[in-house]
Each structure stands twice: as structure tokens, then as C-alpha cells.
Amino acid sequence: METPSRVRSASPLWATLVAFGLAVFGIVATQFTTLPAIFLEPALIESPGDTSIGARALLMTLNFLGFALAGAIYLAATDRGWSYVDLRMPTKRGWLYVLAGIVGSLVFYFLVSILIQLLSLPATDNQVMQYIAGDQTMILVMILIVFFFNAPAEEFLFRNVIQKRLYEAFSRFQAVLVASAIFALIHFPVYLAASGDPLAIGPSDLLATTVPLVVVFGGSVIFGYVYAKTDNLVVPTAAHAAFNAFQFGLVYLALEFDLETGEPVQSLLVDLLAVVPV
């Protein structure tokens, strides 16, 4: 349902600044929520791959809880309350949008993967790969974290809080694009840091960082769209979780088939199509 123009009385600039501030607040919150894990296992800072699976899982779980905490604080501070949260069991139509979100994100991901291979584009993996450290068991743990913490927390903050806040100043489609741009933008430092020394970043590093951000932005647009069409947080959360689980599944299969796991996850998809029997 389109937001009536008479309701969109907020300044687009101010709404965008608030939305971006909420995203930054979410990042800052994760720095505090992860402190217990780092206190228990300081090696998580320098060499996470050498720590126990339990320590890594705790860190990742607390990290995503930081996003949920930021959203909850905003709702409380602005007197929006929990009634603002669009959480309910999807209808048959809602489940169809879940399916559309999953299929749409996977098709987009496949097309980007093919393009990366055809153009030989460099692509940087998320720093999360440092916490997996080639451990198949950790991949399975991450899939569970994706379903119960990652997707719910990110969709709550970026869809139900940030995107919905943008409805006050933009049309729903515009709000989807702005929220997705912000979602991609906050991932930029993460991918940039994973590409090498931030003080020695060159054009190729910037390109390698931009490629995965295209995937992040595109996926966010798809999840934002299904949320805008259903006003139900469960719909984008389910699609998001399935998409991320698919990405981790690719890494698991790459290890299973002894592929070069140093490649970006996007490239692994094309490689796996050549070795996995169909």
C-alpha cells in the first residue's frame, strides 16, 4: 500500500540523515554487544580462526544482536513502541512474496556471479570468512546464526525501522532504494578492510570492494521490495535468511569438493556448477 502524499511531510534530507544515523548507531551498538565475547576470548580480535567455534559463534551472535538493540532503543526513544514492529505469520500471499524474494535474490546473485567470471572482476569476501577459517562445522553454525540472529536483526533495523521511517518522506519505492543504499554503504568499510591494508588501497582494491556491494545493494532492494508489498517483517527475513544460507552453503560445498576457497563466494558458484553433478 502506497503511503499517502499527505503523510509524507518529513524532509527527505532529514529522513535520510536519520536513517543513516540509525545505521551507524547499529554499527556502534555491535561494538558494545560483542565485548563479552572478546573479554572471554581476546584472540578473536587478532586471529579469530584460531579460536574455538563457541567463541566465534558467540561473537557473531552478539554482533547481530547489536542491530536489534539499536532498533529497539530507537523505538523506545521515539515512543513508537513494539506495535511499530510488523511481525505476524504471513498469509498465503505473504509466503508467495517470500518465495519471490528467495528466487529473485538467487537469480540476481547468479547473474552477478556469471558477470564476475566473464569480466574477470576482482571481488572481496566479507570479513565473516575470517571467522569461518575453512571450518565446515563453523559454516553450519553460521547458517543457524543466519536464520535466528543475522537476518532477523538486520531486517528489523533496516526494513522495519529504517525503511519504514523513510516512508514519512519518500514513496515506498524510493524508500527501498535509499534504505538499500545505506545498507550497502555501511558494508563498505567491512569489505574494504578485508581487501587489505586500508592505508594502501588502490583502484583494484576499490573495484574488488564495489563488486560485492552490488550484490548487497541488489539483495537489499529485493528484500525491501517484498517488505514494502507485505508490511510483514517475516517475509524479507525469511527470504534474507535463505539467501545468506545459500551463500554459506556454497562455501561448504567448495570445501567438500576441495575447490579454491580463497576465491570470492560469487566466483565459487560458477565453479561449483562445473563439478557438482545435476
Could you report the per-residue pLDDT of 120-141, keeping only the tens digit for each?
887 777 778 888 988 999 999 9
Instruction: Residue 70: name the closest of 43, 31, 41 by CA.
Output: 31
| 278 to 273, 274, 275: CA distances (angstroms) | 9, 10, 9
Quick one: pLDDT at residue 212?
86
Mean pLDDT of 94-118: 94
8 A C-beta contact, residue 173 and residue 84: no
What sections of 146-171 are H helices per DSSP?
Answer: 151-155, 164-166
Cα separation of 187 and 158, whole Å? 13
Most confident of 7-11, 68-72, 183-187: 68-72
8 A C-beta contact, residue 151 and residue 240: yes
pTM value is 0.88
Check the CA dihedral 98-179-75-79 and report its sign: negative
Task: Return the number of other C-beta atoms located less than 10 Å from residue 146's C-beta.
Answer: 23
Quick one: pLDDT at residue 129?
82
* Ramachandran angles phi, psi of 162, nearest 5°: -70, -55
Could you report the per-residue pLDDT of 133-178, keeping only the tens digit for each?
889 999 999 999 999 999 999 999 999 999 999 999 999 999 999 9
Whether 188 has a pLDDT exceeding 90, the answer reads: no
8 A C-beta contact, residue 53 and residue 137: yes
In this prediction, residue 209 has a pLDDT band, given cuts at 50, 70 and 90, of confident
8 A C-beta contact, residue 79 and residue 154: no
Residue scoring higher pLDDT (90 or 192): 90
